[in-house]
Chains A and B, each alone.
Chain A
Amino acid sequence: MSLVAFLGAIEIGLVFGLVGLGVFLSFRVLNFPDLTVDGSFPLGAAVSGTIIVAGGNAYLATAIAILAGCLAGLVTAALNLRFRILHLLASILTMIALYSINLRIMGKPNLAILNEATVLTPFQGLGLSNLYLRPIYAGVVTLIVALLLVRFLASDMGLAMRATGANPRMARAQGIDTAAMTYLGMAISNGLVALAGALFAQMNGFADVALGTGTIVVGLAAVIVGEAIIGTRSVMLWVLGCVIGSVVYRIAVGLALNSSALGLNASDLNLVTAVLVAIALILPGARNPLRTLLAGRNATGKSPS
């Protein structure tokens, strides 16, 4: 993998780290499997892209994109809480509705954001090439968001949210408004995903209605790979693990793109990515037969793989 490809993987991984944080909040904290993200990611791209192309300020556009994402999360939460639709189905409904809404917002399926002033523009005069600027920017934003999330989860309200996901009946008995916590958590979660969509679109020059394809898979992979590598010993590690998991996932995609050296074809990309992520999941597992085998070989000085 070349330096450009490696930095590209880091950058895209950090942007998708925000998706990982959003999915962590819904899936792990609230225990709410949320497929809305497949719609709220392109929603963030569509909203920010449309405002930017119309001449709006990129930061304002990104803020509005986050609000749009929050709204999408609230819709899913309302379908689930108020109308008693199963959470998985409620989120699928919002997701497919967002497909049409995203087409409406952009007015067409693909919106070019090439050569427009983006969130990166104010930093482009600092003498740092885009090659380094983009991953650094993505890293700073994602790190700030991750630390704010850690801070939030340690607050009274954050603890109430965690209690809501862990044991809703007990939480209600303690006087926690679990419905309000679910609304809030789903809004924050999808707001983060929309932020990721907005940043991705601005850094890569386009918003596309197909941009959401597989977002939930990438988000879940980030959360689970992070848990496997970093662990869940503290909320801080758990949250940072989501970001690291996302970067690891992107490096896996990057490696899969280089798999022609192993005699594989371009059409094998998804398979190779899945295998690499599976390896990342399997390796740290303590009582796993493959890992035991590898550890045994290690003891005799032979290299694994």
Chain B
Amino acid sequence: MKRSRWGLMAGAAALAALVLGAYQVRASDPVLIAVTAIVDHPALNAVRDGVRDELEAEGYQGDGLNFVYESAQGNPSTAAQIARKFVGENPAVIVPISTPSAQAVVAATQDIPVVFTAVTDPLDAKLVSNMQKPGGNVTGMSDLAPVGKQLALIREILPNAKTIGMPYNPGEANGVALMNLAKKEGAALGFTVIEAPAVKSSDVMTAAQSLIGKVDAIYVSTDNQIVSAFASVVKVGVDNQIPVFAGDTDSVSRGAIAAIGFDYYDVGRQTGKIVVRVLKGEKPGDIAVQGVDTVQLFVNPGAAKAMGVTIPDAVMQRAKQVVQ
């Protein structure tokens, strides 16, 4: 009994040493930028790298920049704890990537400047109450995809199409928001959008198959779940001669016919520009919440041929990149 108590106390002492050690390691001078994301994911990591590169390009580098990053590894309660940790370190700016991370940070501080990013709908997430003049300590940018432009592209390539099938994940805020937007924007272009819900990656194939015979085209938005299983959608498209379009340019090399989209690295660079404005003294509450500036058109004529479609010359000529 006595021995086990000694072990326990020794353990406690070791933990205490670790706490104090971590506390003292903190340097004082460089600009501290604290970045957090809900999960490690190629797009979110690209945002993080974009933010850092933009800061470095603006001269915040080397000993002048203390860039810290934490991932909640998919766990929202860890996201809340990361938010408290960052607030305790009093950084110059906190950059939360994704909706739950941003909400946790905004709930944790009313003083430290927050520049959120990769949040689809900042109003619905209650991060800001006004996109033009957010007020308080919060601003940032939305990664809402240019759904209208994407559907218009489908209209241009398929002038006679009436119905569009849209696989999406009902468990992802992003996927649901894009679904609703596609229905609204699609109606304006004369499209009927048919839902194909897939909760797990393994459901994506079934969801795509449910559209066979019902739709003139399949449109995959920037829904993480569906994009991760994009190959199965392409297979359904090729086997059944249904043209497949994407909302992100990366998916064009994975078999989509075409996409107008943005690169998440550019989202990071644009976020970094807002962070720099805050560092130079602007109040976050005075900076309007931004959408993504840079969109590009990628086309894949090979995929178009495999799905029985020809891409019009006008579209080919506008393409930023032609994937072979």
- Chain A residues with a Cβ under 8 A of chain B: 1-9, 11-12, 16, 99, 103, 108-110, 112-115, 200, 203-206, 208-211, 213-214, 218, 229, 250-251, 253-255, 257-258, 260-261, 266-267, 269-270, 276, 279-280, 283-286, 291, 294-295, 298, 303-305
Determine if A286 and B100 form an interchain contact, defined as CB atoms under 8 angstroms apart. Answer: no
> How many interface contacts (CB-CB < 8 Å) are there between A and B?
178
Determine if A298 and B125 form an interchain contact, defined as CB atoms under 8 angstroms apart. Answer: no
**C-alpha spacing A208/B171, complex, angstroms:** 9
Interface set, chain B 70-105, CB cutoff 8 A to A = 70-78, 80-85, 87-89, 99-100, 103-104
Q: Nearest Cβ distance between residue A11 and chain B, in whole angstroms?
A: 8
Determine if B126 and A257 form an interchain contact, defined as CB atoms under 8 angstroms apart. Answer: no
List B contacts of A284 (CB < 8 A). 4, 7-8
Main secondary structure of the interface of A (DSSP, over half): helix
Give the contacting residue for A280; candidates B11, B19, B23; CB below 8 A: B11
Given A112-B124, A200-B80, A213-B75, A3-B88 contact (CB < 8 Å): yes
User: How many residues in B have their beta carbons less than 8 Å from beta carbons of A?
Assistant: 57
Determine if B88 and A8 form an interchain contact, defined as CB atoms under 8 angstroms apart. Answer: yes
List B contacts of A269 (CB < 8 A). 70-73, 78
List A contacts of B176 (CB < 8 A). 108-109
3 closest A-B pairs by beta carbon, nearest first, are A8-B84, A2-B88, A4-B88
Main secondary structure of the interface of B (DSSP, over half): helix
Interface set, chain B 1-55, CB cutoff 8 A to A = 1, 3-4, 6-8, 10-11, 13-15, 17-19, 21-23, 25, 40
Q: Which residue on B lies nearest to A229, using beta carbons?
A: B8
Determine if B11 and A283 form an interchain contact, defined as CB atoms under 8 angstroms apart. Answer: yes
Give the contacting residue for B4; candidates A109, A113, A205, A286; CB below 8 A: A286
- Chain B residues with a Cβ under 8 A of chain A: 1, 3-4, 6-8, 10-11, 13-15, 17-19, 21-23, 25, 40, 68-78, 80-85, 87-89, 99-100, 103-104, 106-108, 124-127, 129, 170-173, 176, 199
**C-alpha spacing A115/B172, complex, angstroms:** 23
Determine if A206 and B70 form an interchain contact, defined as CB atoms under 8 angstroms apart. Answer: no
Q: Nearest Cβ distance between residue A16 and chain B, in whole angstroms?
A: 7
Most interface-central of A99, A114, A229 (chain B CB within 10 A): A114
Given A109-B171, A110-B173, A114-B106, A8-B85 contact (CB < 8 Å): yes
Given A214-B75, A266-B70, A261-B25 contact (CB < 8 Å): yes
Q: Nearest Cβ distance between residue A133 and chain B, in whole angstroms?
A: 13
List A contacts of B15 (CB < 8 A). 251, 255, 276
Given A9-B81, A298-B10, A255-B18 contact (CB < 8 Å): yes
List B contacts of A283 (CB < 8 A). 7-8, 10-11
Q: Which residue on B lies nearest to A19, using beta carbons?
A: B77
Determine if A209 and B68 form an interchain contact, defined as CB atoms under 8 angstroms apart. Answer: no
List 9 A-B pairs, Cβ < 8 Å: A8-B87, A115-B126, A205-B106, A206-B104, A253-B81, A266-B70, A269-B73, A269-B78, A295-B3
Q: Which residue on B lies nearest to A200, using beta carbons?
A: B77
Q: Which residue on B lies nearest to A16, using beta carbons?
A: B77
List B contacts of A2 (CB < 8 A). 23, 85, 88-89
Determine if A305 and B14 form an interchain contact, defined as CB atoms under 8 angstroms apart. Answer: yes
Given A205-B107, A253-B78, A7-B100 contact (CB < 8 Å): no
